[in-house]
Amino acid sequence: MHWSIIISYGNKRKSMKTVTLKKSDRNLKGTIQLPFSKSLSNRLMIIKAQTSGDFQIKNLAKADDTLLLADLLKQIKERKQQKQIVELDTGNAGTAMRFLTAYLSSKQGKWILTGSERMKLRPIGALVDALRLLGADIDYLAKLGYPPLLIKGRPLRGGEITIDAGISSQFVSALIMTGPCIPGGITIHLRGEAVSKPYINMTIRLLEYFGVQVKREKNKIIIPESAFQPIDYIVEADWSSAAFWYESAALADEVDLILTGLNSNSLQGDSIISSIYQNFGVTTEYLENGVRITKAKKKMDGFYFNFTDYPDIAPPVITTCAAIGIQGRFEGLKSLKLKETNRLLALTNEFKKIGIIIEILDSTDNDLSMEFPPSIMKITLPLRMASYGDHRMAMTFAPLALKMGTITIEDPDVVKKSYPQFWEHLASLGFEIQ
């Protein structure tokens, strides 16, 4: 199949790149080589940086976030003997900011850890407070509780700490990966309802793979002082990226799509996407190296789900319900406000363009939920959807071309954060992309 991609610029007033998708039919047939898991890759690099002895990470993700973290770790290794302050820019990479905050706390040197303007609005105070209890020397350089940070690395001391687990699972993962390198180990008490628990479980299972015997007791995680064992690791494909193909399948008429690199025994919590989309008539067949997804017609009146543990797949699932016109009720959404953009606000704003009004509701447990009634999309072409500088928003809106025939999406380069080949893969399935 021959295809080409042309990314054009919008009008001079907005001066923004756009990509326009067109699909002459509603069929999805072909094979997609999914990107490798960014979540696994980034954790593995932090573990490798703390391991005495070398090991191979096979299938390391090529996402911008992973490449950035690899570069920052290289800079840290090369410049740790410098007496002057070293500034490290994490851009818009949340894992890099959170993981390196913990990692640098015990690394010799003085470090300024900063990021994009959006990163400076994403809270990090709970992680800093926990690290300070272990002896870390961390100061805020601007707003209290937010990046940028000045970190003066020094030996940490083991002990018990408590952290609010309801803000970001990455705070907990950062502490877990640092724990084995702290004399005496650490015990982490989780306060409140943890968000994205599967990512915490992923981190624990990785430590166990590398020989650290983690103990879990209800809301307590005990991490002993221990040396990571150098063992080669093969990274699996990314289930979070697969969510956009499941969304596409739900909006298509005929589907026969193979997604390579996925497996049923995954460390990734977002593998639940295969079960979620059974409700939309999308069937998953596990193959030797991936999955085959097909679709049968299925009548639905509405769909309910709690995304507390799976916030990254909330946008495509919510958009699926809106696009097929069924009632939606979704809970566990509070962490969506703290992502690369406020994803609740982004969905609310963009859905108005297709005639769907979302109601955001506060709940008694300090969470957020969303609902909307059965609606028929009201489409006025040309339709232009904003991505808000957020990779997952751009990829969430792209499958709408199957329902609308054509759609324009702003700032298409943002997909490089997690899925650099996304537009090429759409083109390989018959989407015309200009």
Gap between the Cα atoms of 71 and 88, Å rounded:
10
The single-letter code of the amino acid at 297 is K
* The two structure tokens encoding residue 270: 């977002």
Gap between the Cα atoms of 75 and 100, Å rounded:
12
Mutual orientation of helices 94-104 and 64-79 as an angle, nearest 10°? 20
Contact 261, 413 (CB under 8 A): no
Of 369, 370, 418, whose CA–CA distance to 390 is shortest? 418
Can you give the three-state secondary structure of 195-220, one letter per residue? CCHHHHHHHHHHHHHCCCCCEEECCE
pLDDT of residue 303: 95
Q: Any idea what the Cα angle at residue 224 is, between residues 221 and 225, rounded to 5°?
A: 140
Q: How far is CA 97 from CA 42, 71, 86, 102, 409, in A?
A: 11, 13, 15, 9, 28
Neighbours of 218 (CB within 10 A): 7
Q: How far is CA 45 from CA 115, 196, 232, 326, 400, in A?
A: 20, 21, 12, 42, 36
370 SS3 class: strand
Gap between the Cα atoms of 146 and 117, Å rounded:
11
CB-based contacts of 301, cutoff 8 Å, min separation 6:
326, 327, 374
Gap between the Cα atoms of 56 and 232, Å rounded:
5
Contact 114, 140 (CB under 8 A): no
Q: Which residue among the candidates 64, 309, 312, 411 is catalytic per the annotation? A: 312
Cα dihedral value 94, 97, 98, 103, nearest 10: 150
Q: How far is CA 221 from CA 66, 208, 216, in A?
A: 27, 13, 5
Q: What pTM does this model have?
A: 0.93
pLDDT of residue 87: 97
Mode of pairing for the β-strands spanning 137-140 and 149-153:
antiparallel
CB-based contacts of 206, cutoff 8 Å, min separation 6:
40, 43, 44, 47, 267
Whether 312 is a known active-site residue: answer: yes
Gap between the Cα atoms of 425 and 399, Å rounded:
12
Residues 200-203: contacts with CB under 8 Å, at least 24 apart:
200/165, 200/169, 200/172, 200/173, 200/176, 201/267, 201/269, 202/39, 202/40, 202/43, 202/173, 202/267, 202/268, 202/269, 203/43, 203/172, 203/173, 203/176, 203/177
* The two structure tokens encoding residue 238: 């990314």
Contact 106, 78 (CB under 8 A): no
pLDDT of residue 338: 87
- The pLDDT tens digits along the chain (434 residues) read 334 444 444 443 345 799 999 999 999 999 999 999 999 999 999 999 999 999 999 999 999 999 999 999 999 999 887 889 999 999 999 999 999 999 999 999 999 999 999 999 999 999 999 999 999 999 999 999 999 999 999 999 999 999 999 889 999 999 999 999 999 999 999 998 889 999 999 999 999 999 999 999 989 999 999 999 999 999 999 999 999 999 999 999 999 999 999 999 999 999 999 999 999 999 999 999 999 999 998 888 899 999 999 999 999 999 999 999 999 999 999 999 989 999 999 999 999 999 999 989 886 667 899 999 888 888 778 899 999 999 999 999 999 999 999 999 999 999 999 999 999 999 999 999 98
pLDDT of residue 156: 97
pLDDT of residue 161: 97
Neighbours of 2 (CB within 10 A): 4
23 SS3 class: coil
Strand order in the sheet with 368-372: 302-306, 327-331, 368-372, 359-362
Which residue stretches of 105-140 are H helix? Answer: 125-133
Q: Identify the structural domains of the chain with CATH numbers, from first to last.
A: 8-36+236-433 (3.65.10.10), 38-234 (3.65.10.10)
